[in-house]
Structures are given as structure tokens and as C-alpha cells.
Structure 1
Amino acid sequence: MTDKAYYEGQIKKLEHELGEMTVALSQAWDQLVPFLQEVPFEAKTAQDIQPLLEAVTVAADSELAGIYLFKTDEWYTIPDQICLTDDAIQQLKALSNHETIEMFMKIGVSSHWAFAPIISEGKRIGVLGIGTYDEARLFTAVELRIIMRMAQRIAGQIEAAQLATFREREAIQAREMQIAHDIQNSIQPKDVPQNRLYKIDSYWKPARHVGGDAWGWMHQVEGQLEWFILDVAGKGLPAALAAIGLHTAISMALRLNRSPEEALRIVNETLYDAYTRTDLMATAAILSLDLETGRLQVANAGHPPILVQQNGAWLQLEATAPPIGVLPDLDIEMQELMLGADDLIITYSDGFSEIETGTELWGQMGLIQAVPSDTSDIDRLTKEIVMASQQAGEARDDQTLVTVIYTKEKHHARANHTPSQPRGRV
């Protein structure tokens, strides 16, 4: 064969290949045009992915289409009942940036798929696939190139949809958090009770938007002032929800006229299984003050010591039982103390006592030293304790403080009572 004949043959071969490529490109363009026309310019939400998939099926002339997103582990398909197997997910995650993959899936009905990576800013964020129920159909090189081009086209829209979905979820979570905050805020007493026999004030501040601290009070018909303080372990929404439930449970027990230790025992019995399943626990203290006699009863389940100032001396009423949710049966010992005129009771959460001052914890001594010498103004007393705690260090936990002053003169029958011995003296 002469050189001329050889080159003429090569030219004819190249012309033939060029003709085939022209036909293929023409077919690809015919298929891409409707895709480019139908794909939304911007996908604002996850729902906008559906039109993207519909456009893919038109452009690729396929029965099925799907998008799998790596970050959120979400799988969108047309039709929407098609499942993606665990094995398929592993293969798709292993797909490189510049290759396609074909696979068969059989969950109910068999289907044949081809996938291409969706790449945004050089990173694979998911895959785009076209599929058919015809297992004998082979995807051509042109069809594989088409889905590669489609994947490039929709990468920006998919990221926009993911961002919009993320923002939507954030907005929902923010609304849920606000609802929890409003509910938790609503159960904290707004107006403290007024009575000539006592003065009461409080301070409540969660470490975050919501928290695990709460307190409440009520008057019993027999003449007792009762109040309680609780602290669910943890912070944020889970602790807040648990605190709301515990606050309700204690309030209901006291409304049934249960004594402080009976109320805590009933609450523990009611909540133990739920707390065990969710790995929760909570400290709580209930105090009952007989306004006529001055008898103070205290039931303390794992909560920081109740501080009582009498005649210039300080007593600590320590916990006599573990926190709620630790044991199925709460064996709690009630402590009693007779109060006299101007005796002061301080209940607080560990958000105060566990403030880090740089060298040590603020502790009970920090609280005691913050109490002014003149305790007649209870509002000023409470404010000075809070200000002193803020000066001592940053609070990293929820804070609750309830201060009570018994203002009635010592009762003449006080000597007839035999109170139990408090657990500590400062």
C-alpha cells in the first residue's frame, strides 16, 4: 500500500469518527437543552430538588432519577419509594471526582443505575443518578457524559437547597427553643408572696437560653409557706424539659398536701424509670415553714446544703438522700428546725456555689460572706449576693437563689417542740 493510499484511509477513518462524534454531540445537546431549560435557576429548599430530578429524567430519557447527599445522608428519588441499599451507599461514597459508576439494585423491583459525583468547590457533596427498570439496557458513553454534565450543573442548586434546609431546621429549632424558654419562664414565680410573717425574694438565670433550674412556692390552708428548688443535671433543652416536668410533679405532690419528704419520695417513684431510660438525675429540696410556730421542715435530695442564719450563727441543712432518679426507692430523712424572728433561710443551686474564683470554688462560704450585716431589706440582700457572685467569677451553670426571712416574734410555745438536729454548722 502506497503512502498516499494509507493517508487517504486514515483521513476517511477520522472523518467517520468525526461524523459519529458530531452525531453524539448533537444528540447530547438535544437532550441537554430541555434539562437546562427545566432545571430551576435556584433551589431554595429541599422541595426544589424534585423539579431537578424531573428535569434529569427528561434530559436523560430515563424512568428513574435520584440524588444522594453525603452530609445529611438524604436520598431523593423519582419515584420516591425507591430505596438505596447500604452496600450501594458505600460504593457511592467511594466514587472519585471524575468517574461514573453503574450498579444494579433490587429492593422489591430490580433497577439499573448510573451515577456521577456532584462536586462543589472541589469536594464531593453527593451523587446524581439515572435509572431504568430495564436491566438489559446499557448506558452509553454519551448518557454517562450527560449525567456528568448534569451533576456539574446542579451542584450549586443542591448546595443552595442544603443551606436553605439547614437554615429552615435552625429556624425550627430556634422556635422550639423559644417555646421551651417561654414555658420554663412561665413556671418561675413572677410575683413573690407578700405576708407580714415573712419576706421572700428570688433570682433565676439559666446559663443558656433555657436551663435545668427551677423553683416554686405555695401556701397551704393549714398555714404553712412551702417552697422548693430543683436542678436537673445538664444544660440546654433536655435539662429544661426535664425541669419543667419535675417542677410540675413537685407542685402536684404539694397540692395534695404531702409533707416535703413524702412529696420527694412520690416524685422519685414516678420519675425513676423515665430518668433511668434517659440517663437523667436531679437534685431537689422542699421546705415547709409553719408561719404560726416557726417550725421549718426540710427534705433535701442531693441538693446543696440549705443555709440558715440564726442569731448571727450559720447552720447547714445537708442532703439526707441521693438525687432523684438515682435509686428506685428514696429513703429520705426530714430535718426540722425552730425559727425565731429575723432568721434567714437561703436556698440556691450549684450555679452559685460552684463558681470558680481562680483558686477555689466560691462555695457556701462565698454565699455567707456576701450576706450584708443588715438583712432587713431582702431585695437588697438578694441583689448583693448576686453581685458578689458575679464579681467572684463567671457563672458556668444555671443559677437559682431563693431567700426567706421569718419576721414573726419567737413563739411562746417554741420550747415544746423537739426539732431534729441539723446536719452541719458553719
Structure 2
Amino acid sequence: MGLFVGACLGWLLYIRQRRKNVQIDEEKQLVHQEKQIVVEFMHNLVEAIGAGVGREELFQHIVHASILSTGAMSACIFERTGKNTLKGIAVEGLFPPQHQLPEKSRDKLSTRSKFIEQILKSEVFEMGEGLIGSVARTGKAVLIEDARNDPRVIQHDDPALKVRSLVVAPLAFRSKILGVLAVANPADGIAFNEADFSLVQSLAEQAAMAIHNSDLMEMQIEKSKLDLDIAVASSIQGMILPQKFPDNSALDIDAFYRPAQKIGGDLYNVIRLDDDRVGLAIADVSGKGVPASLLMTICQTNLRHFAQSYRSPSEVLKAMNREMSEEIRRDMFITIIYAIIDTTQQTLTLARAGHELPLLCVHGGEDIKPELTFVGSEGMGLGMVPAEIFDFVIEDKTVPFQHGDIAVFYTDGVTEAADEEGTEFGSARLAECVRTLRNRSSRDLNTGIVSTVERYTGQAKFADDLTLITVKHT
């Protein structure tokens, strides 16, 4: 009897072990199948990203691949569109809306497919609202094997929109919720099970990674385009800024220009008007980057044109303001000084449209202390006010400019450069620097000013464009 019982127990253990081995084999097979499906899923998404599909089309690829992978009859993706909202962006099949349909809309169900797609793509969920919002807020996937009596699932009168079984999973990359993937109603009529649940979670994880990579690639493409645009703009800017100055034995002229970014909004120019007269301009366009650079280019073109047409600096600036008023955006303006140096008359005549006051260092003689003054004149920036006001305010100012005198024109990148405590370099330090370096050439004087500003701020990189024109009457 004991032998019989022992044999029976042995047989039962054998049967149980066989069943366990079969179950393990089945689980291994399911895991293997899931891996194959996920690999194929990712392969399709990588191909789509490589083909350069748009974001919305990528979402549609994910929905389609999800249906093929799970055997579901319908699927939908709700994209996170704001800090606290989700919106339907891609759908395939008759995915049941998760808001109740408006009464007036129910008679349109004869054209179900397009109508449901339209409804879903207009659905917006708050984070935490309904099943979709809840999954997005918690970041945890949900399996509803039997959805027919589950209060979390919205059901509709139309039999085609009945939800029988449902899996909802977050599209999350590194804890960041990008959206929600929902698949509904297996085509074979059998409810989703734990294996399906695991598969959808895996697909959602891979889809989120694909979306992140797609966004990253798009950003890199846009950055490359922007870098190219900036490089072109910088090249154009370099070409329109003068590299050499008109020959005039009575004048030693040098310019220094350093943009804060790859392209800047400052400009300068030195224009030969005739044998005795030279025009000099320095300007600062409000803002930075490409818009400021484009406006600077327009300003440079107009300056060259009108400088040859008018003898008075104020008339040149009036003409520029009239010409450019339509091209200057309301949130932008240009401060500018245009000056004419007449070496025969030994004068400097300037008009100032809201720009920094130029510094004049009068030599006075070997034994006389130089006199430094900031030359002022009335005027407002280009594009700031209507032409009639601009024309009324702008004026010419003429001062002597004789042997040994120095004129320094600059942008606010010089005087507003600040130290670590936020104290600006200021005009007084600029004047003292020019006083100390006045016996040097214009180039050495500019180099000395820039070096002094760098030492003062403690850095070689400035927050604003820095431009200098120094003219010495030799």
C-alpha cells in the first residue's frame, strides 16, 4: 500500500512538473514573441523617422503599428499639448471617444470613421480627467479586461462604439509624460490579458523613445538650419562692414567691432565724399541676432546712398528715417551718429539720432592739458517717431577739428560694460582712458580702450556688441 501511494505521489509530481515545464515553455515563447513584435515595431518607427516624417505622421505610424502588433480593432494616441492637457492626435479604426458624444452629433454616425476621427482629434483631457487623464497623471498603465461594466470607461449607444476590452498606457520618456496610447477591442473577441498588457506597455515605452528621438532630430535639423542662416548672415555682415578706409593724409582712422553673438546689430562706416571731406557713421540697432543684423544691413545700404546725396548730416538722417520707417518693426529702432569731417575747413559736423555722445579730445598744444568733452546735439532714434517729429528735432552740430584732435565714436557696449558688481564702465572712465592714450595711433588707442574695458569687467566676452571708431587729425 505504501509503495502504491508513493508511486501515485511520484506520478502526480511528474505530471505537475511536466505542466510547469509546458507553462514555462509557453511563457518563454510569449516573451520571445513579444520581443520580436517590439523589435519589428521599433524597426518600423526608425524607418519612419529616417524618412523624415512629420510629428503627426509619426504618431499615426505608432497607432497603426500598435493595431498590427496587438490585434486590436482600434487605437488612439492622446498627445500632451500643454502642462496639464492632452489632445487626440492620431487614431485608427473606430476608437470610442472617451467623452460622451453631443446629442446633436449622434445622427452623424452614418459616416462613422471620419466622424469619430474628427471627434477624437478635438477631444481634450485635463491631467487626471477620466481614464486617459488618470493614466497621464499617474504614469501607470491600466488593463481593463472586461470594460462593459467598468465605470471608468465611457460607453455609447452605437454598438460599433462599445468598448469590450481596453489597455491604456503612458508614453513616457525618462519620467516625462509625452502622451497616452490606448488600444481597444481585440479582433478575435477574446479580452486582453496580462501578456497583451505587457506588450502594449513595451510598445508605449519604445514609442515614447521614438518620439523623443524624433523631436531631438528635428531640433538638430532646425539648429543646423539656424546655424547656416547665422553663418550666411555673419558672412554678409562681414562683407558690408568696411575693411579699409578712404585715403586721407590728414586723418588717422581705425574701427573696432566685436559682436556679442555670431552676428550683431552694430554698424559703422567710413565714406569718402570728396578730396577734403570724409563721412563717418556708427549705429546700434535695438535687439540682437538675425533681425538686428538684417535691419543693420538695410541701414548700411541707405546710409551709403543718402551720404552721397546730401551735404548735411541731419539731412542724411532725415532721408534715412523717411525711407526706413516702414521697414523698422514697432519694437525696434536704430540709434546713429553721422558725422562729416572737412579737413580743409578743419571742422567736424555731426547729427545724432539718439546715439551715445561722441568724445572729442582737443589737443591744445604740447604744454597745455588736453580738453575732453562729449559733443551733444538733439535727435531721436530712427523709427521711433513719425517723420515730422524726427525732422523737427534733429540738428547739425559743428565743432573745430584741428591738428592733434581726436574724435571717438562708440556704442553703448563700451560704456555699459559692467564689472562683477554690476557697475558700468561709464563715460568718465572712457574719457580718462583716451586722455592717457591720446599720443598713440588710432588703432593702438582702440586696442587700449578695449583692453581697459576687458580688465574692468574681468572677461573678454561682453553681453552687448562693442564698436569703436577713432579718428585722429594728423
Compute the TM-score of the two structures, normalised by the length of structure 1. Answer: 0.73
- Which segments of 5 or more consecutive residues in structure 2 lack a partner in the other structure? 1-26, 93-113, 143-151, 156-160, 365-369
Q: Structure 2 vs 1, CA of residues 71 and 161 (structure 1 numbering), >3 Å: closer, same or farther?
A: farther
Higher helix share: 2
1:375 to 430, 439, 448: 439
> Identity percentage over the alignment?
21
Question: Post-superposition shift, 1:120?
Answer: 2.2
Corresponding residue for residue 400 of structure 1: 467
Residue 281 (1) aligns with residue 333 (2): yes
Query: Conserved in 1, the CA contact under 8 Å of 2:87 and 2:123?
Result: no
State which structure, 1 or 2, has the greater radius of gyration over its C-alpha atoms: 2
Corresponding residue for residue 6 of structure 2: none
Question: Post-superposition shift, 1:88?
Answer: 5.0
- Which segments of 5 or more consecutive residues in structure 1 lack a partner in the other structure? 1-24, 105-109, 133-137, 408-426
Query: Conserved in 2, the CA contact under 8 Å of 1:114 and 1:139?
Result: no
Between 320-329 and 52-61, report the one with greater CA deviation. Answer: 52-61
After superposition, residues 221-236 of structure 1 pair within 5 angstroms as 221=274, 223-236=276-289
The 1-side partners of 2:133 and 2:327 are apart by 39
Question: Post-superposition shift, 1:237?
Answer: 3.4
The 1-side partners of 2:61 and 2:385 are apart by 56
Question: Post-superposition shift, 1:382?
Answer: 1.9
SS in 2 for 1:356: coil
Q: Structure 2 vs 1, CA of residues 222 and 380 (structure 1 numbering), >3 Å: closer, same or farther?
A: closer
Q: Structure 2 vs 1, CA of residues 63 and 218 (structure 1 numbering), >3 Å: closer, same or farther?
A: farther
2:124 to 84, 87, 109: 87
Residue 326 (1) aligns with residue 397 (2): no
Compute the TM-score of the two structures, normalised by the length of structure 2. Answer: 0.66
Query: Conserved in 1, the CA contact under 8 Å of 2:437 and 2:448?
Result: no
Residue 314 (1) aligns with residue 372 (2): yes
The 2-side partners of 1:87 and 1:198 are apart by 70
Query: Conserved in 1, the CA contact under 8 Å of 2:171 and 2:178?
Result: yes
Query: Conserved in 1, the CA contact under 8 Å of 2:347 and 2:402?
Result: no
The 1-side partners of 2:171 and 2:207 are apart by 8
After superposition, residues 292-307 of structure 1 pair within 5 angstroms as 292-307=344-359
Q: Structure 2 vs 1, CA of residues 103 and 208 (structure 1 numbering), >3 Å: closer, same or farther?
A: farther
Between 263-272 and 200-209, report the one with greater CA deviation. Answer: 263-272
Residue 252 (1) aligns with residue 305 (2): yes
Question: Post-superposition shift, 1:56?
Answer: 2.6
The 2-side partners of 1:245 and 1:293 are apart by 32
The 1-side partners of 2:225 and 2:78 are apart by 25
Q: Which amino acid aligns with 1:403?
A: T
SS in 2 for 1:195: coil
Root mean square deviation, CA, Å: 4.2
The 1-side partners of 2:285 and 2:170 are apart by 47
After superposition, residues 13-24 of structure 1 pair within 5 angstroms as none
Query: Conserved in 1, the CA contact under 8 Å of 2:357 and 2:375?
Result: yes
Residue 194 (1) aligns with residue 247 (2): yes
SS in 2 for 1:284: strand
Question: Post-superposition shift, 1:222?
Answer: 6.9
Q: Structure 2 vs 1, CA of residues 380 and 30 (structure 1 numbering), >3 Å: closer, same or farther?
A: closer
Question: Post-superposition shift, 1:307?
Answer: 1.2
Corresponding residue for residue 118 of structure 1: 171
Residue 269 (1) aligns with residue 269 (2): no
Q: Structure 2 vs 1, CA of residues 122 and 276 (structure 1 numbering), >3 Å: closer, same or farther?
A: closer
Residue 340 (1) aligns with residue 402 (2): yes
